[in-house]
Structure 1
Amino acid sequence: MSDLTALTIAEARGKLSKKETSAAELTEAYLAAIETANPLINAYVKVTEDKARSMAKASDAKIAKGEAGPLEGIPLGIKDLFATEGVHTQAASHILDGFEPRYESTVTANLFADGAVMLGKLNMDEFAMGSSNETSYYGPVKNPWRREGSNMDLVPGGSSGGSAASVAAQLCAGATATDTGGSIRQPAALTGTVGIKPTYGRCSRWGIVAFASSLDQAGPIARDVRDAAILLKSMASVDPKDTTSVDREVPDYEAAVGRSVKGLRIGVPKEYRMDGMPQEIETLWQTGIQWLKDAGAEIVDVSLPHTKYALPAYYIVAPAEASSNLARYDGVRYGLRVPGKDIVDMYEKTRAEGFGREVKRRIMIGTYVLSAGYYDAYYLQAQKVRTLIKRDFETVYADGIDVLLTPATPSAAFGIGDQDMAADPVKMYLNDIFTVTVNMAGLPGIAVPAGLDAGGLPLGLQLIGRPFDEETLFSLGAVIEQAAGHFSPKKWW
């Protein structure tokens, strides 16, 4: 049974179509794996066994009739940020206690229409605010990877830590995730999985709990580049319910995997060489450059001069939008309600108890930068910087660069409860240093496993593409993947 959970989506799809296994058998294998591992890894906050079994049964009936969809019978984990009809949807927050929406997010509806099976809802940083999955009301997720010779529990990255950990530990065939400042690519890099943040507008945001509406974008985390391509094809669509979704044909992303990259011009931005960057990250980067060169791509040094302002600008824009979006949680219509002597007291008590520390911090920052007297000095300036960051990318792409190659994270996974990170939130925010520019400019970015550090932990490289050119990212990502090989954690759970 356990061999079934080792199959990639592409492999499982092949076995299902040849009737070598059934959707029911595949689903049971995953449910058994979750039952064993989840008490230790804490990737799932809700396992939907009955729903998974009934969806698998329906998939087997469709396969028997020759009516299989592109993801028929493939068991997936769904990040707790996606609304799933009649099923726990709480953004890993206490303030949404008991919330079960009466509607389905567009992304999950697309996946289920294509035949995917839902195994359950995945843990995450509360309201997607975090880079380590330690801010969840349901407790931290443990990375399936451990440093050689150590039993220390490591973070899986965030906010999509449950998505990345469940894919790495083979507790689902693939997972949905979201990325506001790196929340797909950073956890993918720290768990040896593949994660792509598509272009802003490629996937509908309807039915996804909002963090920062101009930055949020859904995407998949998968075991390899091909699986990520298969998932994104099903997730992406135009949606009249989300006016920021783009009415463009969704390409066959899987067809781009294995395509020649000869003649592509790869930009290497000098600004990503940060002070104090570990040597092994620099070495990994140089290795990636060589792999792409060997595949026939041309390497060009480029400059993105406003990169250094991206992180501070992001931590003004994102909290500002969060403070506005999270104002709807007041204990009146749904979720947690803490009684008070009047309605204002009830609001205050509900929010004080319902929101975690990091969410409160960001709401306070956001409210401050939007307040009278500070709006012009902070928020307006940050939006101007954002325009300059976007222009940097446009200039580089106008000069004939096809894709940029950078590190995905400044280091490998760190320990859960790391004192340095806990004492200084800015140190935690620096984990997004290589990823936030992509969200600020609305571009697509993919993180691909590229090697192991000295302690045997995975490290990733990031490819940043032109708007709506995810296909080139999949082509180049496959080159890196083939050169680096596949990495799996040693099982301890």
Structure 2
Amino acid sequence: MRRTGANALIAALTAGSLMLGNPGATGHGALGVDLDTVTIPELQARMSRGSLTSSELTAAYLERIRTIDPKIKAVLRTDPAAMAQAAASDARHRRGTVLGPLDGIPVLLKDNVNTRDLPTTAGSLALAGSPPGSDAVLVTRLRDAGAVILGKTNLSEWANFRAGKPTSGWSAVGGQTRNPFVLDRNPCGSSSGSAAALAASLAQVAIGTETDGSIVCPAGMNGVVGHKPSLGLVSQSGVVPISAEQDTAGPMARNVIDTALTFAVLQGEESAFSPPGDLRGKRIGLWRLPSLGPDVDAVMTAAAQRLTAAGAAVVEVTPPYQARLGELEFPALLSEFHRDIDAYLATRQGPRDLAELIEFNRRTPAEQTCFAGQELFEQALAAPPTTDPQYQAMRAELADLSRRSIDETLAEHALDAIAAPTNPPAWTTDCERGDNDVIPSSTPAAVAGYPSVSVPAGSVGELPVGLLLMAGDRQDAELLSMAAAAERELKAWRAPRYLPTVGPDPIG
């Protein structure tokens, strides 16, 4: 194995005290490793020693998908070529020509990311025919890095941009994804299947996408890590869009190290992460968001106490301009969606534009089995074009206020990052009611195009709550390092128990 760039990081992490897995665990079956806690550096060390192969690892994950996924319906399909990809990685490991930290590592892709040999549906029957014919740029990077494409995950149909009151985790193609912690609870969206699959240890890492909250909310609600990168660091090419002004794919995993190593591959750089130091001298602004309820606030208080005990200074903040961002974001997204989805549909078989897509849904009963509405589609069709001066003024104000909301807060309090609750406790899934998901913490970074990372912070009963960290533009590597340090102090990750229910929702 070449000891340069990210490979040198693997060696350092494996040899040092930063290993986040459990080397003494008896593991899942005969594999000899605990898939719940093992990290990519540990897996690569085992493969380098010859005590584990990618074929064994891939087969173990495929078996878990076969036996566990029927409970949660997170995985739409597995790749028939997965074992052949793993065998090719094993040959590289034997030759000592490993391509990097993801070589031989099984990865699940959200099903709005184009794959040349697997269907890419965005959860819609309108795209359930032939595969796109070419890979998204990020998939090419994963393949070039030797990753094993394990399959595709379910999502909130059209990334939750169809109905006025959707149910996250539902699509006509995949049905309803369930939260592995409590099966009648929602996984949040739209990267529902990616997060739920990771919580259930059905892959080592997964890819999600976000316009506003669609990586970080599922990560928080399913007790895993999710990173929404700075806008433009991961190519949007070949990803079903909502808005080029906010969309980004990003990595998800059960720990920050795996998330960061995957981000380096998606970004196209050898390393995008420094090993976590300590939190001494770091200044973190805590945005409490009491609207998420007293139980979530108690989790934030406990997290702040742990971070303070580790040497961080935690000060309470309220980023400005949030009400105005809430007024402007949705109308801008409507115009951008019409433009961007028309351009994407023109590259695929099926409906050729948004108007044809609306008509397809009207005449397809299977598209209406959970909720019939497509109000957002209809509003987008009637929205002003992105050439309209009123739209352009709206997007310019959004960009200005969202960046200032973070930049001014960081500067006023001399902060290294802003922290907030990622999510409330998971609500019960209910097609008639829809989601209970007014979660404002993701909006500033999403609209600004700045990075955010959610790490497990604690739980309300059985239901996970995440801590969302955000920082300035292109501060991804620094934010991931801080997230790893926070993860180490909070020690909040735990495996799900697949409980059928826990009673009524903790919040209304």
Q: Do the two structures share a fold, i.e. TM-score over 0.5? A: yes
SS at match of 2:274: helix
1:221 is aligned to: 252
What CA deviation, in whole Å up to 9, does each residue of 1:75-107 have, x standing for no partner?
111111111112111111111121312211111
1:488 is aligned to: 495
Report the alpha carbon displacement of residue 254 of structure 1 after superposing the two structures with TM.
4.0
For the structure 1 residues 358 and 471, does the alpha-carbon distance in structure 2 shift closer, same or farther, using more than 3 Å as the test? farther
1:100 is aligned to: 131
SS at match of 1:370: coil
For the structure 1 residues 375 and 135, does the alpha-carbon distance in structure 2 shift closer, same or farther, using more than 3 Å as the test? farther
For the structure 1 residues 135 and 378, does the alpha-carbon distance in structure 2 shift closer, same or farther, using more than 3 Å as the test? farther
2:476 is aligned to: 470
8 Å contact 2:194–2:206 — kept in the other structure?
A: yes
1:34-53 matched pairs, under 5 angstroms = 34-48=65-79, 50-53=80-83
2:85 is aligned to: 55
8 Å contact 2:169–2:177 — kept in the other structure?
A: yes
1:245 is aligned to: none
Q: 1:365 aligns with which of 350, 361, 379?
A: 379
Which shifted more, 6-15 or 436-445? 6-15
What CA deviation, in whole Å up to 9, does each residue of 1:159-183 have, x standing for no partner?
0011001111011111011111011
8 Å contact 2:106–2:204 — kept in the other structure?
A: yes
What CA deviation, in whole Å up to 9, does each residue of 1:270-295 have, x standing for no partner?
xx534x43111111222222222222
Q: 1:391 aligns with which of 404, 407, 410?
A: 404
Percent of aligned positions with the same letter in both sequences?
28
* Count of aligned positions: 457
2:335 is aligned to: 320
What CA deviation, in whole Å up to 9, does each residue of 1:40-60 have, x standing for no partner?
211111211x31011001000
Report the alpha carbon displacement of residue 320 of structure 1 after superposing the two structures with TM.
2.2
8 Å contact 2:406–2:444 — kept in the other structure?
A: no
1:262 is aligned to: 280
1:185-264 matched pairs, under 5 angstroms = 185-237=216-268, 250=269, 252-256=271-275, 258-264=276-282
For the structure 1 residues 385 and 337, does the alpha-carbon distance in structure 2 shift closer, same or farther, using more than 3 Å as the test? closer
Structure 1 CA distance for aligned equivalents of residues 315 and 206 of structure 2: 34
8 Å contact 1:90–1:99 — kept in the other structure?
A: no
Report the alpha carbon displacement of residue 344 of structure 1 after superposing the two structures with TM.
12
Residues 1:415 and 2:447 are matched in the alignment: no
8 Å contact 2:186–2:427 — kept in the other structure?
A: yes
Report the alpha carbon displacement of residue 368 of structure 1 after superposing the two structures with TM.
3.5
Report the alpha carbon displacement of residue 228 of structure 1 after superposing the two structures with TM.
0.8
Structure 2 CA distance for aligned equivalents of residues 283 and 397 of structure 1: 24
Structure 1 CA distance for aligned equivalents of residues 354 and 340 of structure 2: 19
SS at match of 2:314: strand
8 Å contact 1:97–1:335 — kept in the other structure?
A: no
Structure 2 CA distance for aligned equivalents of residues 344 and 378 of structure 1: 19
For the structure 1 residues 287 and 57, does the alpha-carbon distance in structure 2 shift closer, same or farther, using more than 3 Å as the test? same
Q: What letter is aligned with 2:292?
A: M
For the structure 1 residues 359 and 162, does the alpha-carbon distance in structure 2 shift closer, same or farther, using more than 3 Å as the test? farther
Scaled by the length of structure 2, the TM-score of the pair is 0.83
| Structure 2 residue runs without a partner (length 5+) | 1-27, 162-166, 501-508
For the structure 1 residues 222 and 144, does the alpha-carbon distance in structure 2 shift closer, same or farther, using more than 3 Å as the test? same
Which shifted more, 301-310 or 321-330? 321-330
1:73-84 matched pairs, under 5 angstroms = 73-84=104-115
8 Å contact 1:197–1:217 — kept in the other structure?
A: yes
Aligned-CA RMSD value: 2.8
What CA deviation, in whole Å up to 9, does each residue of 1:201-260 have, x standing for no partner?
1111111111111110111110011111111111113xxxxxxxxxxxx4733433x213
What CA deviation, in whole Å up to 9, does each residue of 1:365-420 have, x standing for no partner?
22344279x966677446424422222222233443221011111x1111121654
Q: 2:146 aligns with which of 98, 101, 115?
A: 115
8 Å contact 2:206–2:251 — kept in the other structure?
A: yes
8 Å contact 1:404–1:463 — kept in the other structure?
A: yes
2:98 is aligned to: 68
